[in-house]
Amino acid sequence: MALVQRIPNFSSNLRNWKSTNSTNHKPVSSLHYKTQITASSSPFTEKHSVERYQRDQWLYKASTPSPSPSPPSNQQDEVFVRENDIASQLPELKKLLEVLREKRESGCRGGDCGPGDVYLVGTGPGDPELLTLKAVRVIQSADLLLYDRLVSNDVLELVAPDARLLYVGKTAGYHSRTQEEIHELLLSFAEAGATVVRLKGGDPLVFGRGGEEMDFLQQQGIRVQVIPGITAASGIAAELGIPLTHRGVATSVRFLTGHSRKGGTDPLFVAENAADPDTTLVVYMGLGTLPSLAQKLMDHGLPCDTPAVAVERGTTPLQRNVFAELKDFATEIQAAGLVSPTLIIIGKVVELSPLWPHCTKESSCLVESR
């Protein structure tokens, strides 16, 4: 039995749900439906979306014609688009660097001008109301913001009108900029005296490669400040009413990456102790490797009826959830057609969610006691 749901603004309605259902808890009925997801409907910046080029249009003033948001048809076209995109942006990036350098030099006193600061800012899982006050202040004061795909459109609306945005997002098989190119962009603009903000979905230091960027810049003498964000595990679990740890149910929580370093179908690493039934597993970027991951967990002893949930585009109006037991999990996700970004939570705490469709004594008692 599995449950596929699309629940906008669930957290604001959770209290009302509990008050009307606490005395007569019943299992949530199974519901399957398919919805067509397009780049234009995504709450995030898809790689060739119209929104991306509109947001970054300042970069293409020197290019003729303007870049087309039409998606390439094959991998060779992807490479061409990436290289052409970077070449089209280069004149305006150089011009902005010159303007910033001149501004820095004219404002210097005594000829002692230090570099600008770089802020690694976590924007949370998508809902702009989950931003910290410090993150909002820094976003609104930046000269240049390099943003990832999983920074939501609503968060980007907070950017000051005179600031410059540059998309550096990555998806499987397409990196608009390599990590090394991102490093060099951050360094070049910081050396020009700019206040540079690196916007990342979730938390910069949780599977966000923020540590690599911080290490590189600090070695070059650039001051880096990290502003933490609510990582997807915390934000999405809260949205569903799932405690990641719970006395008597889960004594620890473990974050895993589902990415294979070589791009294969196996997850990067699954140790035997990851199959601990008293541990909650949270898998980031795990859609492609989930079938192998689920099987390995069961092979290592995790019960096949372990509750699990996959959450697509969590905390946004387009959130969809798939609940299932581990043995059926990969099949149910495939049937629902979930797309990236999807977070996966595996463990007994999942059935403590008021949305868990399986009626068990433990979950019923928990809901009734609230």
CATH of the domain at 150: 3.40.1010.10
The model carries a pTM of: 0.79
Q: Based on the domain organization, do 246 and 310 belong to the same domain?
A: yes
Query: How many Å from the N-terminal Cα to the C-terminal Cα in the chain?
Result: 26
* In a domain? residue 47: no
- pLDDT 10s per residue in the chain (370 long)? 455 554 444 333 333 433 334 333 333 323 333 333 444 478 887 666 777 777 777 777 766 545 555 555 565 566 666 677 777 787 788 888 888 888 877 777 655 678 999 999 999 999 999 999 999 999 999 999 999 989 998 999 999 999 999 999 877 666 688 899 999 999 999 999 999 999 999 999 999 999 999 999 999 999 999 999 999 999 999 999 999 999 999 999 999 988 766 655 556 566 566 889 999 999 999 998 899 899 999 999 999 999 999 999 999 999 999 999 999 999 999 999 999 999 999 999 999 999 998 645 444 333 332 3
- The set of catalytic residues is 148, 170, 285
Q: Based on the domain organization, do 199 and 144 belong to the same domain?
A: yes
* In a domain? residue 309: yes
State the Cα angle at 183 between 179 and 187, rounded to 5°. Answer: 170
Q: What is the DSSP letter of 28?
A: P
Conformational region of residue 111, where left means phi above 0, alpha means psi within -120 to 50, and beta covers everything else: left
Q: Based on the domain organization, do 239 and 224 belong to the same domain?
A: no
* In a domain? residue 180: yes
Q: Based on the domain organization, do 236 and 161 belong to the same domain?
A: no
The owner of tokens 């979306």 is 49
Question: What's the structural domain count of the chain?
Answer: 2
Q: Based on the domain organization, do 125 and 213 belong to the same domain?
A: yes
Residue 299: domain span: 231-350
Question: Using CA atoms, how far apart are residues 11 and 333, in angstroms rounded to an integer?
Answer: 23
Q: Based on the domain organization, do 195 and 247 belong to the same domain?
A: no
Burial class of 153 by CB neighbour count within 10 A (0 to 12, 13 to 18, 19+): middle
Q: The tokens of 329 are what?
A: 């999990």
| DSSP structure string for 188-254 | HHHHTT--EEEEESB-TTSSS-HHHHHHHHHHTT--EEEE----HHHHHHHHHT--SSBTTTBSEEE
Query: Which CATH number belongs to the domain containing residue 283 in this structure?
Result: 3.30.950.10
